[in-house]
């Protein structure tokens, strides 16, 4: 049984999808802890599913490395097989990447390497792209630059704004994430080989 820690910053709809998938006894992974960089709304999903959670408040960019060390302390206590960033709106510090990658993956609402960074959906719209997508990658020290584990195209429709497009991308992200975690759990997908 693959044990998974999920880190969030926001509403946690992707987290919820993983919690729901993991509720199926046949699913080969379990979320054992949820972490956040603030009192994120998504922590309510952890509570609803009876999953422990922790918060390491973001102290500001000047103390990012200290934040990373505390994040490592919290994660070490749970010894997860895999750490999933799903809506964590922070670049994890090098100490976190060094300790957990390649067992450290991220979901991103674009077809990487297109539109990396924190505003992928807005950037795709601004670029006038006809297609964007969703990706699941291994986290490395770059910005959304790690090995791609899964990705799928999502069309941009006339009249799409950032919110509507993002809400159409998220279900694709969730499906990709649930499948990638399952494939890691079954050994079908070997992370070391991917990185």
| Angle between helical axes of 13-22 and 162-186 (0-180°, round to 10) | 30
Q: What's the rounded Cα separation, in Å, for the pair 64 and 19?
A: 29
Shortest distance (Å) from residue 71 CB to ligand GRF = 17
Backbone angles phi, psi at 187, to 5 degrees: 85, 0
CA dihedral 32, 36, 40, 41 (to 10 degrees): -20
CB half-sphere exposure, 137, CA atoms < 13 A: 22
Q: Can residue 108 be called a binding residue for ligand GRF (CB under 6 A)?
A: yes
Q: Is 119 a catalytic residue?
A: no
Among 97, 170, 184, 185, binds ligand GRF (CB under 6 A): 170
Residue whose CB is less far from ligand GRF, 89 or 126: 89
Residue whose CB is less far from ligand GRF, 103 or 166: 166
Q: What's the rounded Cα separation, in Å, for the pair 139 and 116?
A: 12
Q: Can residue 151 be called a binding residue for ligand GRF (CB under 6 A)?
A: no
Binding mask 70-99 for ligand GRF (x = CB under 6 A): ----------------xx------------
Q: What's the rounded Cα separation, in Å, for the pair 141 and 13?
A: 26
Q: Can residue 132 be called a binding residue for ligand GRF (CB under 6 A)?
A: no
Q: Can residue 14 be called a binding residue for ligand GRF (CB under 6 A)?
A: yes
Among 6, 33, 35, 42, binds ligand GRF (CB under 6 A): 42
Among 109, 114, 125, 172, binds ligand GRF (CB under 6 A): 109
Question: Which residue number has the CB closest to ligand GRF?
Answer: 87
Q: Can residue 107 be called a binding residue for ligand GRF (CB under 6 A)?
A: yes
Active-site annotation holder among 45, 108, 119, 166: 108
Give the three-state DSSP class for 149. strand
Give the three-state DSSP class for 91. coil
Opening angle at CA 10, ends 53 and 39, nearest 5? 50
- The stretch near ligand GRF (CB under 6 A) out of 5-13, 48-56, 136-144, 183-191 is 5-13
Catalytic residues: 108
């Amino acid at each position: 049984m693959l044990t998974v820690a999920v880190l969030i910053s926001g509403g946690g709809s992707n987290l919820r999808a993983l919690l729901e998938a993991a509720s199926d006894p046949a699913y080969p992974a379990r979320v054992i802890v949820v972490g956040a960089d603030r009192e994120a709304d998504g922590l309510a999903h952890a509570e609803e599913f009876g999953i422990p959670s922790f918060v390491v408040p973001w102290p500001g960019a000047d103390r990012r490395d200290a934040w990373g060390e505390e994040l490592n302390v919290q994660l070490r206590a749970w010894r997860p097989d895999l750490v999933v960033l799903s809506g964590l709106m922070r670049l994890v510090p090098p100490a976190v990447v060094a300790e957990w990658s390649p067992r450290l993956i991220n979901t991103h609402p674009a077809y990487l390497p297109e539109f990396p960074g924190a505003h992928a959906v807005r950037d795709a719209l601004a670029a006038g792209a006809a297609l964007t997508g969703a990706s699941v990658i291994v986290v490395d020290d770059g910005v959304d630059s790690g090995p791609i584990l899964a990705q799928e195209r999502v069309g941009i429709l006339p009249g799409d704004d950032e919110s509507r497009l993002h809400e159409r991308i998220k279900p694709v992200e969730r499906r990709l994430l649930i499948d990638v975690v399952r494939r890691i759990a079954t050994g079908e997908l070997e992370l070391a080989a991917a990185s």
